[in-house]
Amino acid sequence: MTPIIGRLVGFFGRDLLGLVWAVELVLILWPNVLLKDVLLGAFAIFLVVALARATRRSQITVAVLVVAGYALFPAEGGFAALLDGLRMSVVFAAFLPTMFLARATADHNPEIERSRSAFAAMAGPNRNAGFLFGSHAIGAIVTAGAFAVMSAILPREASPEERRRAALAALRGMNIAVLWSPFFVAMAVASHHVPGVPLWHTALLGVPLAATGLAIGFFAFSGASGGRAALIESLRALTPSLPLLLIAGCSIVLVGAVTSLSSLQAVLLTVPPLCLIDIVRRGRRGVLAVALPIAAATRASLGRINDDLVLLTGAVLFGRVLEANPGVTGMLAQLAGFGLPVVALLAGAMAFMLIAAVAGVHPVVTMTLVLVTLGGEASRLAPVVLLELGLYGWALGTMVSMSSVSIAVAAAMFRVPVPRLAFAENLRYVLMFGAVSSLLLALANRALVGAF
């Protein structure tokens, strides 16, 4: 590749995405029709380049979605639905860089570093409990970046089995943070399909669900020898980073509550200023030491998300086609009914998402199908319950799928073969947690809308 072609590819990939990110932030504050059209055209160009540079698996998945979408394309309203889906996908193109900025900033945060050191000092038998809780807390902000942070805690002489158990615990902790954290792509996708659910509603239901998952992971899977003492030691190690987590979460909820912005827009507008404040508070010398590395890490990350964006966009467009086809929506509404109790409906949807994940189907596809099928005016599920159902499928599906980004990153960071993470104890974990979650969500649904 010649230098000129290399620069062109870089611009139409990483740098063009950075431009899309900046323009989307401007449009949230200053809506402008002409600027929106320009942004849409720039994003379309980026998608063409991203699809050409994506992995073969992602290209095949998108091709299947295109064929299926063409077969189901409605006679009326189809192109409007595609345009609407493309506009929504632009928001994802701004969301992912925002998360990369948050991750790069957290990597240089002294409070998170102190939590990291505290976990490293834990006794060996109880360290897996530390990996469970630590990856949950840190992953709530930096998502899969938590694996890089937590893997550095392992002693260099750790055996392959010790690394595998640590990786499995980290997967359990990080993945279920999606049930309440606004920093995950899954939250953005679910909020798109189930609009109008405030973030604090999601947290009010998601935090108890995540706490249940952590309890199951700790008591049934961590192997901690200290019981209550091990739990207290793990929670104490989190103390330095808790204020950061609370400030970030409360700021996003507050912005969403006092404005007319959607949950996703609140994240986009709140996170960059918080990152800037975190950098500036270090003083002039601290700013000079971390600002450029953070900017460089964020920019470098923009060149590594071709697969994520083409899959997200493909799934969103496919979902819009399904929603615009009256024949499909009518059939799905009938399939979603069958007079099943809500608890059976939830358990069946969870089982479908998990089986598809084990088979290698990307969670964004199954989440879209489930949310479109079970949503709508005739739904017997409360919106927040439906949203949490989709997040559950994403969280636990990515824990056991060979195609999961979470497993791929964890395998690389902990130096464990992918099959030893995908087909392991976490299969039992997701089944156990799934059974409990379906009951808890059904009880919440009964309290909210009376259907059980």
Q: How far apart are CA 184 and CA 201, in angstroms?
A: 16
Instruction: Using the structure block, give the residue that is written with the tokens 């739904």.
Output: 379
- Residue that is last in its domain, among 27, 53, 79: 53
Number of folded domains that form the chain: 2
Taking 60 as the threshold, does the pLDDT of residue 442 lie above it?
Answer: yes
- Closest Cα partner for 264 from 179, 200, 370, 185? 185
pLDDT at 172: 93
Distance (Å) of CA 99 to CA 21, 82, 277, 307: 11, 26, 16, 16
Amino acid at 211: A
The proportion of the chain whose per-residue pLDDT surpasses 70, expressed as a percent, equals 87
Query: Domain residues for 98?
Result: 54-449
- Closest Cα partner for 141 from 170, 172, 167, 112? 112
pLDDT at 333: 59
Domain match, 37 and 63 both = no
Domain match, 90 and 32 both = no
Domain match, 64 and 49 both = no
**Mean pLDDT for the stretch of residues 54-63:** 83
- Write the pLDDT tens digit of every residue in 68-96: 888 878 877 778 888 887 887 887 788 77
What angle in degrees, to the nearest 10, is found between the helix axes of 426-449 and 160-175? 10
Domain match, 42 and 64 both = no
Query: Among the ranges 29-33, 99-103, 249-253, 283-287, which has the highest mean pLDDT value?
Result: 29-33
Q: How far apart are CA 71 and CA 373, in angstroms?
A: 18
pLDDT at 6: 44
pLDDT at 12: 54
* Model confidence band, residue 142 (pLDDT cutoffs 50, 70, 90): low
Domain match, 137 and 150 both = yes
pLDDT at 1: 43
Domain match, 48 and 58 both = no
Taking 50 as the threshold, does the pLDDT of residue 5 lie above it?
Answer: no
Domain match, 11 and 154 both = no
pLDDT at 206: 93
DSSP per residue over 302-347, as a string?
A: HTT-HHHHHHHHHHHHHHHHHHH-HHHHHHHHHHHHTT--HHHHHH
- Closest Cα partner for 51 from 310, 304, 303, 302? 310
Q: How far apart are CA 67 and CA 177, in angstroms?
A: 34
DSSP 124: G
pLDDT at 407: 81
Instruction: Using the structure block, give the residue that is written with the tokens 């973030």.
Output: 199
DSSP 120: H
Q: How far apart are CA 37 and CA 293, in angstroms?
A: 33
DSSP 74: -
Query: Among the ranges 5-14, 145-154, 163-172, which has the highest mean pLDDT value?
Result: 163-172
Domain match, 15 and 66 both = no
pLDDT at 441: 93
pLDDT at 210: 94
Taking 60 as the threshold, does the pLDDT of residue 229 lie above it?
Answer: yes
Helices (H) and strands (E) in the chain, counts: 23, 0
**Mean pLDDT for the stretch of residues 406-421:** 78
pLDDT at 124: 61
DSSP per residue over 224-285, as a string?
A: -SSTHHHHHHHHHHHGGGHHHHHHHHHHHHHHHHHSS--HHHHHHHHHHHHHHHHHHTTHHH
Domain match, 25 and 153 both = no
- Closest Cα partner for 350 from 405, 406, 404, 391? 391
Domain match, 8 and 116 both = no
- Write the pLDDT tens digit of every residue in 8-58: 444 555 678 888 888 888 888 888 888 888 888 888 888 888 888 888 878
Domain match, 289 and 388 both = yes
pLDDT at 364: 75
**Mean pLDDT for the stretch of residues 185-199:** 84
Domain match, 252 and 358 both = yes
- Write the pLDDT tens digit of every residue in 300-349: 878 777 777 787 788 778 777 776 777 766 665 565 555 678 888 898 88
- Residue that is last in its domain, among 34, 53, 72: 53
- Closest Cα partner for 405 from 249, 188, 190, 184? 184
- Write the pLDDT tens digit of every residue in 357-372: 877 677 777 888 888 7
What's the mean pLDDT when you consider all of the chain?
80
pLDDT at 242: 77
- Residue that is last in its domain, among 53, 68, 87: 53
pLDDT at 125: 59
The proportion of the chain whose per-residue pLDDT surpasses 90, expressed as a percent, equals 11
